[in-house]
Amino acid sequence: MRKQSGVSLLGLLVIGVMVAFTMLLGFKLVPAYTEYFSAKKVLTSIANEQRNSGPEEIRKAFDRHATIDDINSFKAEDLDIEQGKEGLGISVAYDKSVPLFSNIYVLIKFQIAAGTAAGATPAAEAEKK
């Protein structure tokens, strides 16, 4: 007689719990990341379109884009706008707290920089060296 092989009921339950927890994380965290990528796209387009505009016009343009793209994690007043010799730079850093269940939260720190004067990221500085 041949020995049977496969997954036991307990093993199946453990795998099911792990898959359910991974799906819960995915369903909760994906909206935060889609908002981040949408905000990054908006700031890049504003930095390219509003090169010669003042900070107030840039903030108004961001408010219009934020309403359309449903960006709620930060306001136009939170934008750091730099007009330098290199051009316009817009950056923002914000935290997003995502509730998982009960009193357990995931804190995600986002940082977006767009434009030519927005400053180099640590990865870009490492590539220069």
Contact partners, residue 36, CB within 8 Å, separation at least 6: 96, 110, 112
pTM (2 d.p.): 0.77
Strand 104-115 vs strand 80-83: parallel, antiparallel, or unpaired?
unpaired
- The per-residue pLDDT for 117 is 67
Q: How many residues are listed for the chain in this entry?
A: 129
- The per-residue pLDDT for 101 is 85
- The per-residue pLDDT for 126 is 42
pLDDT tens digits, the chain, 129 residues: what are they?
A: 788 788 899 999 999 999 999 999 999 999 999 999 999 999 999 998 888 888 899 999 999 999 999 999 999 999 999 987 778 899 999 999 999 888 999 999 999 999 886 554 444 444 444
- The per-residue pLDDT for 121 is 47
